[in-house]
């Protein structure tokens, strides 16, 4: 990856430059307040859901409380893309809006996971209340990385480029939330509102590097890492349809307010600190997550599930901090970070 420095420093075959944080452009001074407002609205939604549990399904209603628990295991294949870029000064001291960019493409992942949901309600309550949680873990089996440095704006005058393999690392996702749901049309349609908190982590390793611009040469001993983390509250809606007695369809759409953190260890850079060579921070990220699922109920308790999940997250106007071996810390602009993920899984659910 292309790092920044006060003067030109070889970066595993590349050179980049330091841009004082005071020169950042596009920084929104009200971004923090906007983020706090969005998170406050999400918290209010969660409190509303909790209130629904107290108001709509209390024991004083007098009806027998009904509890339903679903637990599911699944496995499948997943493909991710991650990229980020920074701005900074080139070797002539001129500001370049995209000085360096790193992309991971077509990360091939084998994923397993678990999901649980507890629903509570009774015949006199207007809604059912539920709490749910999910966790997923995946092994990265393949993928490619590309790092480019530019001398001109808008990704022009490319001066360095190198490619790497990405494998033998992992991804991790976890979510927890509360929701309310109501059934219609003789229980054939269920609509729900939900909110919660999610955490997503991609641990990426760069190996087998080859520089192609300006000259072709291997990057012997390359074994660098980059860890990206997204976390924050979300709100969503879901719908469940049961067109046939043994068949159901499910859809979920979530909007996320997410903070982003990234840390890297650039193992070939002796002038940088280790194990953290640089870090990324952005507090104004957001994302969308969508799930589509088809289920076949071959008994009252057991269900076979086929699911498709898509996520798209991004964060902008952040800060990149580079930690030198001398103890100095250099700052430059993190333009944006993007993460896309799609997965297809097969699972088995048990209801009791």
Q: What is the mean pLDDT of residues 193-197?
A: 95
Q: What is the mean pLDDT of residues 12-17?
A: 36
Q: Is 52 helix (H, G, I), strand (E, B) or coil?
A: helix
Domain carrying residue 290: 9-57+65-351
- The CA distance from 293 to 290, in Å, is 10
- The CA distance from 254 to 238, in Å, is 9
pLDDT value at 147 more than 50: yes
Q: What is the DSSP letter of 98?
A: E
Position 1 in a domain: no
- If one counts the domains in the chain, the total is 1
Residue 352's pLDDT is 84
pLDDT value at 14 more than 70: no
Position 3 in a domain: no
Which CATH number does the domain housing residue 321 bear?
Answer: 2.40.128.90
pLDDT value at 12 more than 80: no
Residue 47's pLDDT is 52
* E-state strands within the chain: 9-10, 15-16, 66-89, 95-121, 128-152, 156-165, 169-184, 189-213, 217-244, 247-265, 278-297, 302-323, 329-351
Position 143 in a domain: yes
The number of beta carbons lying within 10 Å of the beta carbon of residue 23 is: 12
- The CA distance from 263 to 226, in Å, is 6
Residue 339's pLDDT is 98
Residue 325's pLDDT is 95
pLDDT value at 43 more than 60: no
Contact (Cβ atoms closer than 8 angstroms) between residue 149 and residue 2: yes
pLDDT bin (cut points 50, 70, 90) of residue 92 is confident
Question: pLDDT averaged over the chain?
Answer: 84
- The CA distance from 318 to 245, in Å, is 51
- The CA distance from 290 to 236, in Å, is 10
Residue among 310, 161, 175, 275 at smallest CA distance from 230: 175
Contact (Cβ atoms closer than 8 angstroms) between residue 200 and residue 234: no
| pLDDT single digits (tens) 27-42 | 444 445 555 555 555 5
- The CA distance from 320 to 338, in Å, is 15
| Beta-bridge partner residues of 297 | 303
Position 13 in a domain: yes
Position 4 in a domain: no
Q: What is the mean pLDDT of residues 78-101?
A: 89
| pLDDT single digits (tens) 293-349 | 999 999 989 999 999 999 999 999 999 999 999 999 989 899 999 999 999 999 999
Residue 187: which H helix or E strand, with range?
none
Residue among 307, 338, 352 at smallest CA distance from 113: 307
Residue 278's pLDDT is 94
Position 281 in a domain: yes
Position 2 in a domain: no
Q: Is 206 helix (H, G, I), strand (E, B) or coil?
A: strand
For residue 86, the number of C-alpha atoms closer than 13 Å in the C-beta half-sphere is 31
pTM above 0.95, yes or no: no
Position 247 in a domain: yes
pLDDT value at 1 more than 70: no
Residue 60's pLDDT is 43
pLDDT bin (cut points 50, 70, 90) of residue 124 is low
């Amino acid at each position: 990856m292309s790092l920044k420095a006060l003067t030109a420093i070889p970066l595993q075959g590349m050179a980049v430059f330091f841009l004082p944080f005071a020169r950042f452009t596009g920084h929104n001074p009200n971004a923090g307040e906007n983020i706090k407002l969005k998170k406050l609205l999400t918290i209010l939604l969660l409190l509303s859901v909790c209130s629904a549990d107290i108001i709509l399904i209390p024991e004083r209603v007098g009806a027998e409380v009904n509890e339903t628990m679903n637990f599911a295991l699944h496995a499948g294949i997943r493909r991710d893309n991650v990229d980020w870029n920074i701005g900074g000064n080139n070797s002539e001291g001129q500001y370049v809006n995209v000085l360096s960019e790193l992309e991971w493409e077509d990360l091939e992942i084998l994923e397993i996971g678990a999901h649980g949901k507890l629903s509570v309600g009774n015949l006199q309550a207007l809604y059912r209340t539920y709490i749910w949680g999910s966790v997923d873990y995946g092994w990265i089996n393949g993928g490619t990385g590309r790092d480019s440095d530019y001398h001109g704006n808008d990704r022009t005058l490319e001066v360095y480029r190198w490619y790497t393999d990405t494998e033998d690392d992992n991804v991790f996702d976890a979510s927890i939330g509360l929701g309310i749901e109501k059934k219609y049309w003789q229980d054939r349609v269920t609509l729900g509102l939900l909110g919660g908190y999610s955490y997503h982590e991609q641990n990426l390793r760069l190996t087998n590097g080859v520089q192609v611009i300006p000259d072709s040469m291997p990057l012997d001993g390359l074994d660098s890492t980059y860890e990206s983390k997204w976390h924050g509250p979300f709100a969503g809606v879901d719908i469940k349809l049961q067109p046939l007695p043994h068949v159901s369809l499910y859809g979920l759409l979530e909007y996320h307010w997410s903070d982003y953190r990234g840390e890297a260890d650039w193992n070939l850079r002796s002038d940088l600190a280790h194990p953290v060579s640089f870090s990324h921070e952005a507090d104004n990220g957001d994302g969308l997550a969508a799930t589509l699922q088809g289920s076949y109920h071959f008994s009252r308790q057991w269900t076979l599930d086929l699911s498709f999940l898509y996520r798209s997250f991004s964060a902008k106007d952040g800060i990149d901090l580079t930690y030198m071996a001398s103890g100095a810390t250099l700052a430059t602009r993190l333009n944006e970070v993007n993460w896309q993920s799609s997965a297809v899984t097969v699972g088995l659910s048990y209801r009791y």
